[in-house]
Amino acid sequence: CATCGNVAQEEQCNICRDTRRDPSVICVVEEPKDVVAIERTREFRGRYHVLGGAISPIDGVGPDDLRIRELLARLADGTVTELILATDPNLEGEATATYLARMIKPMGLKVTRLASGLPVGGDLEYADEVTLGRAFEGRRLLDV
């Protein structure tokens, strides 16, 4: 897709052409497979931006190798009010999310990151320290 970088058979993908989608919210993902995973949840009704990977100095992938310039161009018109960073919760994904957040912060947009933590049905005793720590950081008020 010329707009978001997702897989498309035409110039624009079905998601970018869908007028029912909220154009003020963009979810940034690494690969088209991430769009598919999020779409399966039926929870997100905004638009996407596919970076085409993540920053990985070990693999020789820097910010200029990703679709970051295209993202900044999409943000320039003022339509977008929130950017959801949905990069993988690994070293490369975290580095990419941090890089993007620092670049976009001066624009005054709301920048959020997907929560990460314990999987549903998982046992605490098998969770690693980082996952458990993030679960504590991402905890929310129980509304009863």
Count the neighbouring beta carbons within 10 Å of the beta carbon of residue 51.
22
Which of 18, 80, 10, 67 has its CA nearest to residue 45?
Answer: 18
**Domains located in the chain, CATH noted:** 14-113 (3.40.1360.10), 116-144 (no CATH)
pLDDT at residue 119 in the model: 79
Burial of 116 (0-12, 13-18, 19+ CB in 10 A): middle
pLDDT at residue 75 in the model: 96
% of the chain residues with pLDDT over 70:
99
- Residue 141 in this model has a pLDDT that exceeds 90: no
Query: 103 pLDDT band (50/70/90 cuts)?
Result: very high
pLDDT at residue 127 in the model: 83
- Residue 121 in this model has a pLDDT that exceeds 90: no
pLDDT in tens, 44-96: 999 999 999 999 999 999 999 999 999 999 999 999 999 999 999 889 999 99
CB 47 within 8 A of CB 27: yes
- Residue 29 in this model has a pLDDT that exceeds 80: yes
Which of 72, 91, 68, 88 has its CA nearest to residue 80?
Answer: 72
% of the chain residues with pLDDT over 90:
76
Tokens matching residue 79: 């339509």
pLDDT at residue 133 in the model: 86
Burial of 27 (0-12, 13-18, 19+ CB in 10 A): buried
